[in-house]
Amino acid sequence: MHDIADLESRRIPGVGVASSEFVDAAALQARALGFDPAMVFVPHPIQDRTDDEMRALADAALSEILRLLRAGEGDGN
């Protein structure tokens, strides 16, 4: 979350990616930091997934990540 806040403060669009277990924690931290980051959540858990499963998660999330990055380019970030 701090990395995304840093990117945004430098006007570089960023998107956070986390597993679905961290939806509430991400919202709490965003409020504490005073900003509303673009976030994509992938299915939890991720730590026991194979390389192929991780690639599949990344592939499934990629279009949403790119959409959010492109949206961030136009809003002054």
pLDDT in tens, 15-49: 999 999 999 999 999 999 999 999 999 999 999 99
Q: Which long-range contacts (CB under 8 A, 24 or more apart) does 43-46 make?
A: 43/19, 44/19, 44/20, 45/19, 45/21, 46/19
Q: How far apart are CA 36 and CA 57, in angstroms?
A: 24
Tell me the Cα Rg of the chain: 13
Domain count, the chain: 1
Determine the pLDDT at residue 76. 46
* H-run or E-run covering 60: helix 51-73
Task: Give the predicted TM-score (pTM) of the model.
Answer: 0.86
For residue 21, the enclosing domain spans: 2-73
Helix boundaries (H) for 1-77: 2-9, 23-33, 51-73
pLDDT in tens, 49-65: 999 999 999 999 999 99
